[in-house]
Amino acid sequence: MPQDNKRSGFHSAAGLIQYYDMEETRALKIDPYIILIMGIGAAVVVEILNWKLV
């Protein structure tokens, strides 16, 4: 009975790399809540500027 190789298949046959197996340790990690707060803050600033200029 041949061995089942879970890493082979259409992905590897097409030459695609499975990036989810790798983890970047040097990447900048930002908490999702900080991104959310920055987005809300930017929206508030835009609305205040829009209100002041009208």
Give residue 22's domain range.
10-53
Asked if residues 7 and 13 have their Cβ atoms less than 8 Å apart, the reply is no
CA–CA distance, 24 with 30 (Å, rounded to integer): 14
Residue 15 lies in a domain: yes
Please check the confidence at residue 8 and state whether its pLDDT lies above 60: no
Tell me which of 23 and 28 has the higher pLDDT: 28
Band (pLDDT 50/70/90 cuts) for residue 27 is confident
Residue 2 lies in a domain: no
Residue 4 lies in a domain: no
Tell me which of 52 and 4 has the higher pLDDT: 52
CA–CA distance, 47 with 52 (Å, rounded to integer): 9
Please check the confidence at residue 26 and state whether its pLDDT lies above 90: no
User: pTM for the full model?
Assistant: 0.51
CA–CA distance, 17 with 51 (Å, rounded to integer): 49
